[in-house]
Structure 1
């Protein structure tokens, strides 16, 4: 991979570092060891990642330029330089993406009986069925829009599939029309399974674009279509809410409608589209050539999803395990005796749902409080909370409406819970509630006992099957008291609460982490063993990076597992020789946040909802909870940290010049995958 330039000797640029992660995802699609459909899936993930990257990160940089604003960043790289480097890198990666699709994956899929039919692939045997499908399923919902003085260029929705058509001839009113736009309704699938009586024995799928291009003339009777080209525009989709809004839900609904028509930031179009047409579109969207991506294939790969029913072309099915201790009897009875640690997706998410389900029905339970960041209206958790409210429990849900791209879903969740009788709180304006907490209050022998679940990931069962996360269920009195105080802080008014066991943002987490790093630095200077291991999704916060540099210079051994953005420069002489940075990109999305400090042999270990980013530490409500049980502490150190540092199959190493290199097993090493090891370990202990 090419290296980006960097203006700072101590800090990598955040946007460039994030795109490096997207390139590591694309590299997974190139991995010949992965099953074919999984490689195709990684190609789609790369497309979805790029969409959000343009909607948020590139859009933010372009806005800086539009406003002529100068944003001081630690890397000191101007926005125009970052945009130029990103444009070159993204264009190259998109080219690689489609070369991989066209010359490797599609031919390989065809060799095993899965055919994707594009316009140039339509055969005589297909044409009759395609014509019938177009007339019955496609044409009735299409709305061609001519481009003429009475029909200005239409407002096209963010990321929608559209076609620009060049025409010859006159319409029914005698007008000479040269071009038209045909939006593809989102209700139509982007590719369709061809019936077996047409395809024969093969699994054949035809793209909607191919069907429409085959029959584009049918939309313009009496005229001739001389060209039809699929295109898609990506827009700024970031939401900005004023901090003095009267009703957050109402303000958010208003802002969501504008997201669909934000400033254009990227134009994708089929590569055979004539230059004069692309110039016309670029002018309409106020973009230049650097924002144009000519696509050699389907314009939107992120919609290339279907149940192909070919298990031999996918990863072997993995069934998450329910820990033995939770398979029988009451969850409450188990938690009275011991803490329970869940490591998703290797451990099932069902125990969390079962805890809530038991609480919803238990006559002794008086109250349930929970934060919800991404759950969805169809979530079992939402249904159980609604049931608990209807059963007379005092249910309080702190719902973060502003979870990016889940805002509308979260508004629906809030309405469901309110209708069931739950108290719904939208958190604090200006601070996203990103903490993952459940608090259950239960009457036992005339005393009130608290039960708590704390997690590193969202209360979303689907994510729990794809993301690696930790969840702790405990009755520890200090932790439970702290969680109780945090809920009071979120739902009430008053000064910052003082917690005994937990660190929490935006108040004590950043200072607490600096203190822990400084303590480790002191141990090293005193000649004692000092070791820091951190596993987070991103590391960007300058003061923490500076503290890690100082710790490295003092002799602290530092191992960092950073999934995506790493702005710290490792292995640089005189600065960071003792810092090693790795990234794991595997079957599951690494999402755990674990902080380990040797602490003179006392071994302090925390799990958290927060990455080491400014937004998490200063603009969000986050939890960081200690693992106090010795057995669970050892388990996390082994499985969640050391295990990943030993991976030589899905690991990448970051070097001081900014490039990432895939780790390979040495001649005297056995292949080792951290995720595969954890799957096998759990299955073997059933």
Structure 2
């Protein structure tokens, strides 16, 4: 059967009798993504990791779980409410949501056991104390009560619940205290329940002065202070209990782009209400009485399975502030200085000498920034075009683009307003750019622009020459220090023309054009990948060596998975390095027994996307902005570019593929049953960490 979409190429889909469609061959994407956080949490439990870094990993697992509920669980809830069909793995949305709550409860229990039994006690032994209420001495209590009266109480607005004061709107992920009261207030009203909302202006971590506590690094959580001094807020009444809670809401923005005249204005309207979207999870102190818990669940329209009883602070991820507040280098990873380019001061002269490959964070992000800065002031540069998905606060790249526009360059920037959780920041970036005279484009209706591209047009003699940067990660200096990504700076004419055509598509409603060197979503990347996989299968069937190595963040696209299964059946050796969600089930006899899947979790977030095909001894290596998810391959604008320089291709293969396949300390291998097990060096085997090896070369 062949299906087509007006804007997409026709793709052949096997008939329903295809055995590779068997739901048992697929793992659930949502549950696989949830399981990734257990691997992150394992870093917090690893005694080989510096203590404050272990705290950071614990908090990352909590932040990841927040986002999982805001986006993934919320999406499943939406699918259930609208009666959408089962996924490729055969699970209905209702079944997935039930399993999400079960598995998430296991993760939450593991997180708080890690905090209460491992991290907090270990921090205390190291002189970094997060003090619980029952450990405060008299001096600490007096100071905290005074702090509460002077710094906290003036900005609180406690709300007693009665017919004239209904349950207030509760902002997504905000800290709240429900207080049980006995007695009557000044107006003779009988007390029952009150809600205290903690304004976001208040610090969630309070650093006690050394003269008060005796320790240099002693901290108290705001939630503990609010609960401890609830009586101060309700004078004349008896506080019978105070219980912290937090609600997580659906944070997906839904804008019908075809129906709005101005996407920016529509998004601004949506952002105002996002914090009060339907609830998907309730976290509450474990000692909260059941009647109060049921009242909260009823208010948030949540089933009992969506409540999580918390043995500690409900906003545990906020404890990550301790990492920044404690200057103890011996409790953190050793600092390092990324490599910088040596040679000419001019980036144009550097690229004239050959393509430049950047492997972040081991290579500095500086050359990318310098390329834009130099272009902004170079009299020979005529035009700059760039995509921006995430840029970070106070972006030096945005500053350089504004400078270029003010210097008379023709600057066009494609700003993706729908970059999740960066919508508001990107609206601000778009405003700043437009005020400076930059032509701002918001991409393509219905397709997020996720590709990372920079194009510079420069006059050199009588000719115009194109300089290009392409990357697997965002134009964000912060993530360039924390994520592993690859970037290529080149003046290759074919790649330059391909990028030129891509920008024309994005800004000028140009028709789909087959590119010479690059592949792109949503047009040629998906079918191109399938053809390359099938080419390896054909080689294997003819008795030739066939090998595929892929490094991505996630995979769930069914046709790609079926193509990999078919290649495995043909005898192709397939190595998948998948950081997060993997819907492919490896090791199934006769189906995927030639496929190995591993996940690397270490100091840096693995983020680079690399596709390598053996091609009968003439290997092809591509870097890309796209994971192998349906959204990336079929519903986004993505870029996939070849590494044409043979030396650079060998470097990428050695550093970012083989190096990771050799890892036996930070690698987790996916088993046929969907479970991951941590690898460790065999007896007599030398320990090898891919990230540590790359750091040793800096």
Question: TM (normalized to structure 2)?
Answer: 0.95
Aligned to 1:560, the other structure's residue is in SS state strand
Deviates more, 1:607-616 or 1:311-320: 311-320
Shift of 1:243: 2.6
Aligned positions of 1:22-41 closer than 5 A: 22-41=37-56
Q: Deviations over 1:608-656 (max 9, x none)?
A: 0000011001110000001110000100111010000000111000011
Contact 2:434 2:440 (C-alpha < 8 Å) held by counterparts: yes
Residues in 2 aligned to 1:201 and 1:145: alpha-carbon distance in whole angstroms? 36
SS in 2 for 1:572: coil
The aligned counterpart of 1:3 is: none
Structure 1 residue aligned with 2:313, among 282, 295, 298?
298
Aligned to 1:219: 233
CA contact (8 A) 1:342 1:472 kept: yes
Q: Is 1:48 aligned to 2:66, yes or no?
A: no
1:499 CA drift (Å): 0.8
Structure 2 residue corresponding to 1:446, chosen from 462, 477, 495? 462
State the partner residue of 2:283.
268
**Number of the residue aligned with 2:369:** 353
The alignment status of 1:323 with 2:341, answered yes or no, reads yes
Contact kept, 8 Å, 2:392 with 2:477, in 1: the verdict is no
What pairs with 1:326-405 in structure 2 (closer than 5 Å)? 328-405=344-421
In 2: Cα distance, 1:128 partner to 1:553 partner: 71
RMSD of aligned Cα (Å):
1.2
8 Å Cα contact 1:377-1:412 kept in structure 2: no
1:86 matched to which residue of 2?
Answer: 100
1:590 is matched with: 606
- Corresponding position: 1:487 with 2:487: no
Report the more deviating stretch, 179-188 or 268-277.
268-277
Deviation at 1:377, TM superposition (A): 4.3
The 5 A counterparts of 1:279-678 are 279-306=294-321, 307=324, 308-325=326-343, 328-678=344-694
> How far does the alpha carbon of each residue in 1:525-582 deviate from its partner, in whole angstroms, 9 at most, with x for none?
1111110000000111000100001111111110000000111111110101110000
- Partner SS state of residue 68, structure 2: helix
Whether the aligned pair in 1 keeps the contact of 2:283 and 2:310 (CA below 8 Å) is yes
CA distance in 1, matches of 2:473, 2:131: 39
* Equivalent pair of 2:86/2:93 in contact (CA under 8 Å): no
- Whether the 8 Å contact between 2:257 and 2:263 is mirrored in structure 1 is no
Segment of structure 1 superposing worse, 169-178 or 467-476: 169-178
Please point out which of 56, 71, 81 is paired with 2:85.
Answer: 71
**CA-CA distance at 1:75 after TM superposition:** 0.5
How many pairs were matched up? 674
Gapped runs of 5+ residues in structure 2?
Answer: 1-20
Q: Deviations for 1:177-198, whole angstroms, at most 9, x for unmatched residues?
A: 2010000000111111001111
Q: 1:89 to 1:72 in 2, by over 3 A?
A: closer
Secondary structure in structure 1 of the residue aligned to 2:413: strand
Distance, in Å, in 1 between the alignment partners of 2:622 and 2:474 is: 17
1:377 and 1:416 in contact (8 A); partners too? no
* Correspondence for 1:196: 210
Secondary structure in 2 matching 1:538: coil
Correspondence for 1:158: 172
State the SS of the aligned residue for 2:23.
Answer: coil
* Native 8 Å contact 1:467 1:590 kept in 2: yes
How far is 1:78 from its partner? Answer: 1.4
CA distance in 1, matches of 2:684, 2:367: 41
Does the CA contact (< 8 Å) of 2:386 and 2:455 recur in 1?
A: yes
User: 2:35 corresponds to which residue?
Assistant: 20
Between 308-317 and 119-128, the greater mean CA deviation after superposition: 119-128
CA-to-partner distance for each residue in 1:418-444, whole Å, 9 max, x for gaps? Answer: 111111000011000000000001111
Q: Distance in 2 between matches of 1:627 and 1:202?
A: 52
Matching residue of 2:11: none
Task: Report SS of the residue matched to 2:241.
Answer: strand
Bigger Cα displacement from structure 2, 442-451 vs 454-463: 442-451
> 2:458 aligns to what SS in structure 1?
strand
C-alpha distance in 2 between matches for 1:501 and 1:72: 38
SS in 2 for 1:180: strand
For 2:113, the equivalent position in structure 1 comes to 99
Distance in structure 1 (CA, Å) of the matches to 2:368 and 2:492: 17
Q: Is the 8 A contact 2:177 2:226 kept in 1?
A: no
SS at structure 1 position matched to 2:534 = helix
After superposition, the C-alpha distances for 1:486-523 in whole angstroms (9 at most, x for unaligned) are 00110002311221100001010001001101111111
> What is the rounded CA distance, in whole Å, between the counterparts of 1:364 and 1:410 in structure 2?
30
Q: How far has the Cα of 1:171 moved from its partner?
A: 1.0
Structure 1 Cα separation of the partners of residues 675 and 404 of structure 2: 51
Which residue of the other structure, out of 139, 145, 165, is the alignment partner of 2:153? 139
Measured in 2, the distance between the counterparts of 1:206 and 1:441 equals 55
How far apart are the structure 1 equivalents of 2:430 and 2:94?
A: 41
- Determine the C-alpha separation between the residues in 2 that align with 1:221 and 1:541: 60
Aligned-partner SS, 1:580: strand
- Distance in 2 separating the partners of 1:540 and 1:173: 60
Range with greater deviation from structure 2 (19-28 or 532-541)? 19-28
- CA offset at residue 200 of structure 1? 1.3
1:111 aligns with one of 125, 135, 141: 125
Per-residue deviation, residues 368-394 of structure 1 (Å, max 9, x unmatched): 100000003411111111111111111
Partner SS for 1:621: strand
Deviates more, 1:465-474 or 1:373-382: 373-382
Structure 2 Cα separation of the partners of residues 599 and 92 of structure 1: 44
**Residue 61 (1) aligns with residue 80 (2):** no
- What's the offset of the Cα at 1:7? 8.4
SS of corresponding position for 1:439: strand
